[in-house]
Amino acid sequence: MTRNYDGLGLAELVRTGQVSPSELVEEAIRRIERLNPALNAVVLPMYDQARAAARGRLPDGPFTGVPFLLKDLLSLYQGVPTSCGTRLLQQVPMPHDSEMVRRYKAAGVVILGKTNTPELGLVPVTEPAIFGPTRNPWDLTRTPGGSSGGSAAAVASGMVPLAGGGDGGGSLRIPAACCGLFGLKPSRGRTPTGPDVGEVWHGFAVEHVVTRTVRDSAAMLDAIAGEDVGAPYAAPHAERSFLSEVASDPGRLKVAFTTRPFLAERVHDECVAGVHAAARLLEQLGHTVVEAAPAINGEAFAVDFLTLITAETRAEIDWIGKFVRRRPSPGDFEPATWALGLLGGAVSGADYAGAARRLQLVSRQVGRFFEQYDVLLTPTLAGPPVPIGALQPTALEEAMLKLVGLLRAGWLLRALGTIKPMAARSFDFVPYTPVFNVTGQPAMSVPLHWSAEGLPIGMHFVGRFGGEATLFRLAGQLERAQPWFGRWPPGLGDLS
């Protein structure tokens, strides 16, 4: 069965003539058709394009002939809509491929469709109004995380061995943690954002993939890394291929660990237990492990982060309106998205610049911490995957958001503080990951722990800026010491 191979394994079967790309595509389509009704991971099938590509001459890349899915956000595919989870873009074909999609294609993958994402990628769960929630293969009542939740559910269920995603506040690492997968957020500037965007969310967001194996992540990063034309900045060039690092000895690393949340008050006991178990494993592997963490004013950080995101949301809504050539209205977006845009419209230039400056100072502070340590270990999340709907606005909040949206009264929303408790619920779930989107450092979620209920609990490792090589060496060592590839969600055989 093809799910027993990772992406590089399938590519080797193609290369040696044991299977054809068309056979892999048909098997992947069969699995999507069988599994997707329960999971709602794939929201835009592209089977005709995939079949045509598989029959044609594919590029000679590390993943030639391997089935692949794109996240329905940022990754533009010519002639196909990129909805970003919004009604306004749901039926609008894109005029060209984004540079990232061009590089995915050059790696040889065969793109079968696009995966579910929350509207504009704004929340750490995948429950857009236009497509409905994606469900976690490990427990259909729970979220696969977000915003790359559709991609993670697809990979965790075995539809495809790897899928595209982006990470602006944890959006690759969160779903990886929720679904028992490997997810690495590269350093800022490591992967391209062109040709239409210079930087996404003030440079917080970066695209890559979610995978079942470390080597698939490394090989794909080799294929897609590097600045594109007109890039505002670039990460330092790697000295060797990332794939070669996976099998390399990381040496004796100095690892700091903490279970203290940066942006919340409490962390679930299972996450604490997972960190302590990971720390013990690191010591057994010969690393120096010390309990320490950078000091971060969580409340101030959250306010500044939200200030920038609201302004970016306003800009995105305005851009979408210009793209579809009509003025956006409250009915075009979910109430919470529209409300964030209203708040963003009330953010002054000085507010935005001040928040950016303060977050850059946090980056300086965290950077000094990493002068003492090679890696920081935390839980990826504050708890196991939350139930579907747990982070949605309450009925009262939604009614208030709709009223304020109709009045276009961003000042009233700010005065009432309606967004604050909603944002706090998200930060309570993701109190670690956004910090390293701001600092731009590489960070990965590694599936090293499962709860007593059998739910995945990801462990979060952060490296120095430009230090993906160190993380891949460590991840490869952890994968060999405590393999996870053979773990599949229980009951999945009934669906497959």
Q: How many CA atoms lie within 13 A of 356 on its CB side?
A: 16
Q: Is 244 a catalytic residue?
A: no
**How many CB atoms sit inside 10 A of residue 362's CB?**
21
CB-CB contact of 264 with 490 (8 Å)? no
- Which one from 75, 83, 147, 445 is the annotated catalytic residue? 147
Give burial (CB, 10 Å; 0-12/13-18/19+) of 421: exposed
Please give the C-alpha separations between residue 278 and each of 213, 288, 450, 461, 490, in angstroms, as whole numbers: 18, 12, 12, 10, 24
Q: List per-block mean pLDDT (blocks of 10 residues) for the chain, which spans 496 residues.
A: 89 98 98 98 98 98 98 98 97 98 98 98 97 98 98 98 98 98 98 96 97 99 97 96 98 98 96 98 98 95 92 96 95 91 89 95 98 98 98 79 68 61 85 98 98 97 98 98 96 65
Q: Is 363 a catalytic residue?
A: no
Query: What pLDDT score was predicted for residue 100?
Result: 98
- Which one from 71, 105, 114, 185 is the annotated catalytic residue? 71
Query: What pLDDT score was predicted for residue 405?
Result: 67
Query: What pLDDT score was predicted for residue 393?
Result: 83
Query: What pLDDT score was predicted for residue 484?
Result: 98
The phi and psi torsions of 44 (rounded to 5 degrees) equal -140, 95
- Which one from 171, 187, 217, 451 is the annotated catalytic residue? 171
- Look at residue 176 and give its three-state secondary structure: helix
Query: What pLDDT score was predicted for residue 410?
Result: 65
Q: Is 322 a catalytic residue?
A: no
Is the omega angle on the peptide bond into residue 128 within 30 degrees of 0, that is, cis? no
Query: What pLDDT score was predicted for residue 463?
Result: 98
> Can you state the angle between helices 298-324 and 335-345, rounded to 10 degrees?
100
d(CA 147, CA 169): 9
Q: How many CA atoms lie within 13 A of 124 on its CB side?
A: 32
Query: What pLDDT score was predicted for residue 418?
Result: 60
Question: What's the pTM?
Answer: 0.96
Amino acid at 255: V
The DSSP call for residue 76 is -
Query: What pLDDT score was predicted for residue 347?
Result: 86
Query: What pLDDT score was predicted for residue 430?
Result: 97
Tokens 């419209």 — which residue?
A: 345
CB-CB contact of 408 with 485 (8 Å)? no
CATH numbers and ranges of domains, the chain: 2-249+452-495 (3.90.1300.10)
Question: Strand pairing of 375-379 and 254-257?
Answer: parallel
